[in-house]
Each structure stands twice: as structure tokens, then as C-alpha cells.
Amino acid sequence: MHRDEGLHLEVDNELKSERKISNPDRIEVSVKDGIVTLGGYVDHYIDRVAAQMAAERVSGIAGVVQDITVELPAGSKRVDREIAGSACSAIELNSILPSDRITVVVSDGMVTLEGRVNELHQKEEAEIVVSRILGVKGVSNSIEVVQEVRPSDVTLEIVRTFSIWQCSMSKTSMSKWMMAR
């Protein structure tokens, strides 16, 4: 079997076994030179994300081209104001996210996240949280990860360094004392 045909079959099987994708039969797969192209339609943005992650799990692929279109069911369509409100609420309710430092911008169902967080996992969590919101067609995560240095962190590091230095000096003094005996 040709390599691309084998990859096509593996990706297709991975998509069908992924429980997070509500209707994998609407996703089209093509493979050329080890690069997988995902096309077709899904009902929710989280399905699109799950499809890409499923394809990326297949060993031997060189890359993934994400061409899946989110086509919301009639009952899932929401105005941008509702999506923005839901996104802000979801971020505020998540205990690991600094909601006061994350801004949500919504245009035609596309959510853009902006702001600053201290840790990479917070940036990733913000994207996951909003990608699950009904009516979202896509997410652009522009959140910056900037670690803040607090005075208490500096003090703690000085104390830690001094303690290590003091301990090593005590060992050196003890060694000299024992050698003198």
C-alpha cells in the first residue's frame, strides 16, 4: 500500500474513533506527500480542534492543513454579544485564569483572546474554555505569557541563596576544623 494511502486510512480511523467529534463522517481527509488536509464541515469549533488533534496523533504525518469549516446548526447561531458574554463568564468562572487581564473580542463568531497571563497553561486554558462555547466558529489566541517578578519572590531567592552559601561555608569551616585536629 502506498504511504499516503496508509496515512489516509489511519487518519480516517482516528477521526472516527475520536469521541469528541460529533459527526466525523462530514470531515474529508486527503494526504499528499505525508501532509494531511482536513476539509468538510463540522457543527462546532471544538469538533474542528478535536479533528486536528486526532490527525496529529497519527504517526508518520509530516503536517496537517486545517480546512474544516464550522457550519453551526440553526439552533446554535448566536449574536456576537451573546458569545462575548458567555466567553467572559466562562473565563471569570475558571479559577486558574486571571479574568481581569484577559480581553475577549468577537466578530462574526470568531473569538480573539488578548491580554497577559503569567503561565503558558493559563493561555492554553483560556483557549480551551472559549472553544467550547456554543456559537464559536474559531479562536485566535493572542494572549501574551509574561512572568511577573514579585518582591516576595526576590526576597525568597535571596534567602535561599544566602542559606546555601551559609551552609557551604559551614561545611568548609567544619572541614578545616577537623583537619586541624
Contact assessment for residue 27 and residue 42, using Cβ atoms and an 8 Å cutoff:
yes
DSSP string covering 91-115:
HHH-TTS-GGGEEEEEETTEEEEEE
Three cell numbers, residue 171: 561545611
Same domain, 47 and 92: no
Looking at the domain assignment, is residue 36 inside a domain?
yes
Domain count, the chain: 2
Domain-embedded: residue 80:
yes
Separation CA 91–CA 102 (nearest Å): 8
Q: Are residues 123 and 137 in the same domain?
A: yes
pLDDT in single tens digits along all 181 residues of the chain:
589 999 999 999 999 999 999 999 999 999 999 999 999 999 999 999 999 999 999 999 999 999 999 988 887 789 999 999 999 999 999 999 999 999 999 999 999 999 999 999 999 999 999 999 999 999 999 999 998 777 776 777 777 776 665 666 555 555 554 566 5
- Same domain flag for 79 and 66: no
Q: What is the CATH number of the domain that holds 63?
A: 3.30.1340.30
Asked whether residue 120 is assigned to any structural domain, the reply reads yes
Q: What 8-state DSSP symbol labels residue 10? A: H
- Give me Rg for the CA atoms of the chain: 25
- Domain of residue 22, residue span: 3-71
